[in-house]
Amino acid sequence: METTQLVKGVLDMAVLAVVASEDGYGYDVVRRLRAAGLEDVGDASVYGTLRRLFNAGALTSYVVPSEEGPHRKYYGINGQGRHMLELQGKTWRSFSATMEDLLTTAEGSR
Amino acid sequence: MTETTTHGTMTSASDSAAQVQEYVSAVRAALSDLSLEEVEDLTAGMDADLGELLAERGGTLEIALGSPQAYAAELRSAAGLPAAASPGRRTISLGDWSRAWSERVSVQMQRRPWLAGLLRGLVAIRPAWWVLRGLIAAWAVAGVLGLQAAALVPRDARMLVLSILGVTGSVALARGPQGSAVTRSLVGLGNALAILLLLPAMGSSQPQVVYEGGGDQGPQPVQGLVFDGRLVENIFGYDASGARVTDVRLFDDEGRSIVLSAEIGGQAAWTGRRDVTGERWTNVYPVPWSSGLDPWVRPFRADENPVWQPPVTMPALGPTVGPTVTSPTTGATTAPTRTGSAGSPSVATSTASGTASGPSGVGSTSTSTSSAPTGSRAP
């Protein structure tokens, strides 16, 4: 199954989860998602998601000047973002449990 | 690091920076239909990130990320922003538009049950609309034919026939088979026209707004002075020299006092001025806006822009063009004494004298008739 389509549906939750563990700038978030196993995640999708979550009030943002070269924009999670992550996590767990049951049943009847 | 810039291999730091710059510019260009703020927001910190990405993955940005246009499209869609408008204006057909509209309505109805109820109610009273639409059409036709069609309710036989035809036609149109898209568009246009025509139709059954005289006329539905459809709130007079005239009493051609509407703000308290005999006059102008206020300073009104203020002076009037004023009550005329130069005002000769030579000289020559009128009425 093409994981790209699956990732799209859960990208918000994935990005929130990564930022919740530690603040990060765009490319850093991409790298951590990839390291976690979401290798199909698109760079631009992550940047866009970060911006949308920030505009939705789920993330905070601040600029960190770097010693050399351009500044970096960091994102961190806030209360609203944590609440959103919690809700989406619940939905995901129940959904994945349902899928798991379905698959187990299918395998059992083989 | 090598200085050769073969793509796909390690490039120098300056090449990398240039490549990042170029890529970021191309992405920004692909976002250029968004506001500057949004573009800034979407691409802030992008140079730093892309520089890091290039250093880590090598190759080119195009290989790692795809084209800047594809990158921008992905950025947009993930950020929840609308896709870039395709170059050239999209033409939206009426059918597309109405489909999109009804789609939106049905979404709103699912969200708001009361809206669905309202629409069901509107559908239920549609027959009433068909009748009204027919009457409006009849009224419009009667107007074109010049029939007296003051109201929507038919008053004479011809109006009645027209009304029946209109209503029958309107209902037949509504109950008949659905026509082509063109016919339906025409019917929609006709409905819109009917609604527009309904407004003057309702207006014409209202009483005409006319000037009504002062208090001795008895109670009247509309009181006040209307000029060009607007209730006059005050009157400012200037004399021939251009100076303001205060406390001037105005009468109409029937000798009625010209009184402004009592409903205009501030004038309800206006009780007028008494003359020496004790009689009260409410036709004295200008009227104070409210007691104690200078009538020559108009109060500010929020809905007016700009506020007109009566000027302190006006340019003085020029000499009157026309025959010299005669006084029919005494028969005396201005003396037609010729002065040497034509057109010069002959003020000194205007007093009536017993030796007036009669009217023969007045107006006899075209050049001498432009003398200024002076107080030529004999006492």
Angstrom distance (rounded) from CA B263 to CA B250: 19
Instruction: Please say whether the beta carbons of B227 and B238 come within 8 A.
Output: no
Q: Are residues B292 and B259 in the same domain?
A: yes
Percent of residues, chain A, with pLDDT higher than 90: 69
> B74 to chain A: which residues are within 8 Å by CB?
42, 44-45, 48
Is B6 within the bounds of a domain?
no
Q: Is B47 on the interface with A (CB under 8 A)?
A: yes
Q: Is the pLDDT of residue B56 over 90?
A: no
Q: Are residues B200 and B242 in the same domain?
A: no
Would you list which residues of chain A are within 8 Å, Cβ to Cβ, of chain B?
11, 25-27, 42-49, 51-52, 55, 63, 66, 69-73
CATH number of the domain enclosing A41: 1.10.10.10
Check the CA dihedral B73-B78-B84-B85 and report its sign: positive
Angstrom distance (rounded) from CA A57 to CA A80: 7
CA distance A8 to chain B (A): 9
ipTM score assigned to the predicted complex:
0.84
Closest Cβ opposite residue A27 in set B42, B49, B74:
B49
Is B341 within the bounds of a domain?
no
Q: Are residues B239 and B285 in the same domain?
A: yes
CA distance A39 to chain B (A): 13
End-to-end CA distance of chain A: give it in Å, rounded. Answer: 21
Confidence of residue B24 (pLDDT cuts 50, 70, 90): very high
B14, B28, B49: which to substitute to probe chain A, counting the most A Cβ within 10 Å? B49
Chain A nearest-CA residue for B45 = A72
What is the pLDDT at residue B43? 86
Angstrom distance (rounded) from CA A35 to CA B166: 76
Is B354 within the bounds of a domain?
no
Overall number of domains in chain A: 1
Is B346 within the bounds of a domain?
no
Angle (deg, nearest 10), helices B157-175 and B126-145: 140
Chain A nearest-CA residue for B68 = A44
Q: Are residues B119 and B131 in the same domain?
A: no
Structure tokens at B32: 């250029």
Tens digits of residue pLDDT in B267-312: 455 677 788 888 878 788 888 776 667 778 776 666 656 667 888 8
Tens digits of residue pLDDT in B59-113: 888 888 889 999 999 999 888 888 876 544 445 556 666 666 666 666 666 667 7
Q: Is B84 on the interface with A (CB under 8 A)?
A: no
Q: Are residues B150 and B244 in the same domain?
A: no
Q: Is the pLDDT of residue A2 over 90?
A: no
Q: Are residues B266 and B300 in the same domain?
A: yes
Alpha helices per DSSP H over B44-93: 46-57, 61-65, 68-79
Domain that holds residue A67: 3-108
Whether B74 sits inside 8 A of A46 (CB atoms) is no
What is the pLDDT at residue A54? 92
Nearest one of A60, A53, A26 to B47, comparing CA atoms: A26
Instruction: Please say whether the beta carbons of A59 and A19 come within 8 A.
Output: yes
DSSP A85: H
Q: Is the pLDDT of residue B9 over 80?
A: no
Query: When comparing pLDDT for A54 and A65, which is higher?
Result: A54
Three-class DSSP category at B4: coil
Whether B74 sits inside 8 A of A48 (CB atoms) is yes
Whether B46 sits inside 8 A of A26 (CB atoms) is yes
Residue A1 burial class via C-beta count within 10 angstroms: exposed 0-12, middle 13-18, buried 19 and up: exposed
CA distance A70 to chain B (A): 5
Calculate mean pLDDT across residues B124-141. 82
CA distance B86 to chain A (A): 20
Domain that holds residue B117: 95-123
Mean pLDDT of all residues belonging to chain B? 70
> B44 to chain A: which residues are within 8 Å by CB?
63, 73
Overall number of domains in chain B: 4
Residue type, B361: G
Is B177 within the bounds of a domain?
yes
Q: Are residues B70 and B22 in the same domain?
A: yes
Q: Are residues B106 and B155 in the same domain?
A: no
Q: Are residues B176 and B221 in the same domain?
A: no
Nearest one of B285, B290, B284, B243 to B265, comparing CA atoms: B290
